[in-house]
Amino acid sequence: MRKTNDNVNHSLRNNEDGVLDLIHTVMHQYRSMQYQALRDGPHDITHMEGKVLGFFGHHPGATQSDLAKHSGRDKAQLARLIKGLRDRGLLDAVADQSDKRNVRLTLTSDGQSVLTVLRQQAKRLNTLALQGMDSREQEQLQQLLQRVKVNLDAGS
pLDDT in tens, 132-156: 999 999 999 999 999 999 999 998 7
Distance, CA of 5 to chain centre:
17
Write out the residue range of the structural domain in which residue 66 sits.
43-122
Q: Is residue 151 part of a domain?
A: no
Q: Is residue 7 part of a domain?
A: yes
Q: Is residue 146 part of a domain?
A: no
Q: 24 and 72: one domain? A: no
Which residues pair with residue 107 across a beta bridge? 91
pLDDT at 14: 45
CATH of the domain at 79: 1.10.10.10
Q: 15 and 58: one domain? A: no
pLDDT in tens, 102-122: 899 999 999 999 999 999 999
Q: Total domain count for the chain?
A: 2
**From CA 34, how far away is CA 51, in angstroms rounded?**
12
